[in-house]
Amino acid sequence: MSEELLDDILDNENTEEESGELYEHIRIVVDKGQAQERIDTFLTNHIQNISRNRIQNAAKAGNILVNDKAVKQNYKVKPNDVISIVFSYPPREIDITPQEIPLNIVYEDDDIIVINKQAGLVVHPGHGNFEGTLLHGLAWHFQQTKQPVENKFGYLVHRIDKDTTGLMIVAKNETAQAILAHQFFEHTIHRRYHALVWGDFNENEGTIEGNIGRSPNDRRKMMVYPNGDHGKEAITHWHVLERFGYVTLNEYRLETGRTHQIRVHSQFIGHPLFNDATYGGDQILKGTTFSKYRQFIDNCFKLLPRHALHAKELGFVHPTTKKEMLFTSELPEDMTAVLEKWRRYDKTEIAGN
C-alpha cells in the first residue's frame, strides 16, 4: 500500500469520516504465461507493501477469491485465473501514548470491542489531532485491563467521524480485522443511523444514489457526482421517523460506507443535516422569518453544537463464534434535548393555528 494512500486515510479522519470502511479491494487477472505458484507467494510478489502474514490472514478470513470461489493460501495460481482479494488496512506505525479517556464500552471479548463513541472524539491521530483520540483511550484501556490484543491500541475496521455519536467496532487481532473487513466489503454489516435534517418530505421513505468523491474546490468536503464520472458508488436508504414541519427525524441504512455519505447525500437531495456546518445545515433553511423562531433555532444550535447524526444500530457476525450480534444505542442527550424542543414547538405551532 502506498504512503499516499495511507496519508489519504489519515486525511479522511481529519475531514471527518462517516462510517469510513478500512479495506482495499484488488482484482488481478493472471497472465497467460504464468507458471503454477502458491497464491500467497504470487500475491506477495505482485502487490507492493503487502506482507505474507497479511495475505495469510486474508485467506483465513475467506477474503481471497479465485474465479469467485474462496481459496486457501496454498492454492496454486493458474494462467487466466481471476483473483479478487480484500485487505484490511494495517495499523499505521504511529506513536500512541496511552491516555485516560472515558470510553463507553458496550461489549468486549478476546477478539473485538464495541464502543458507543461520544461527540468530539476523533478516532485516530492525524494532521492536527496527535493526541486525545479513541486509539489513545483504547491503548490506556488495554494497558490497564491487560486485555489480549496483538498491538497496544487495536485494529480499526471502520470509523465514524469526530462529531457523530454512536456505535463502532474495533478488532483486537488481525484475523478478526480481516473477517470483519470482508463483511463490510460484502455489505452484510447492519448499520442504522438516526439524523435530524432540514425540511419535510413528500414520501415516507426512499433511496439516494450517487457517486461520492472529494470536492475539487475543498479537499475537506465531499460531493455527489450524479453522472458517475468521478467518486465511488454510494447508496443510502432512508425513511421518516418523525415530522416537525420544518425539520424531520429520519433513519438511514447504509449499503456503502463513503466519506460523509449520509451528510453529502442529504445535502444533495436538499435536506442537509441540522447544524451541519460543513454542508450548510448551520443556517436557517426552513421556517419563518419571525425573530422568535430565529431565537428558537439559535437555542437548538447551542444545545446541539454539532451535526445531528447518531450511529444507532450495529450488527455483524462475530469473527470467531460466527454468531450474529446486534447492538443498539440510545440517542445522546444533546439530540434528545433538541428533539424535545421541536416536539414542544410543533405542538405550540399547531395550537396557534
Q: Which amino acid is at 257?
A: G
Q: Which of 111, 88, 103 is nearest to 157 (CA)?
A: 88
What letter represents residue 282's amino acid?
A: D
- The number of angstroms, rounded, from the C-alpha of 14 to the middle of its chain's C-alpha atoms is 13
Report the interhelical angle of 291-303 vs 333-352 (nearest 10°): 160
Nearest Cα residue to 273 out of 335, 333, 328: 335
- Collapsing DSSP to helix, strand or coil, 64 comes out as strand
Q: Which of 302, 16, 316 is nearest to 165 (CA)?
A: 16
Please classify residue 297 by burial: count the beta carbons closer than 10 Å to its beta carbon, then call 0-12 exposed, 13-18 middle and 19+ buried. Answer: buried
Instruction: Say which of 40, 81, 111, 161 is annotated catalytic.
Output: 161
- At 70, list the grid cell: 474462496
Residues 257, 269: Cα–Cα separation, whole Å:
18
161 is catalytic: yes
Name the one residue in this structure whose C-alpha cell is 458508488.
233
* DSSP H or E run through 287: none
CB 341 within 8 A of CB 301: no
Cα–Cα distance measured from residue 39 to residue 71, given in angstroms and rounded to the nearest whole number: 9
**313 HSE (CA, 13 A, CB side):** 13
DSSP-derived secondary structure for 187-223: T--EEEEEEEEES--SSSEEEEE-EEEE-SS-TT-EE
Give the cell for residue 134: 479513541
Q: How far is CA 298 from CA 127, 232, 308, 334, in A?
A: 31, 36, 14, 14
CA 178 – CA 121 distance, rounded (Å): 25
Count the neighbouring beta carbons within 10 Å of the beta carbon of residue 351. Answer: 7
Q: Which residues are catalytic?
A: 161
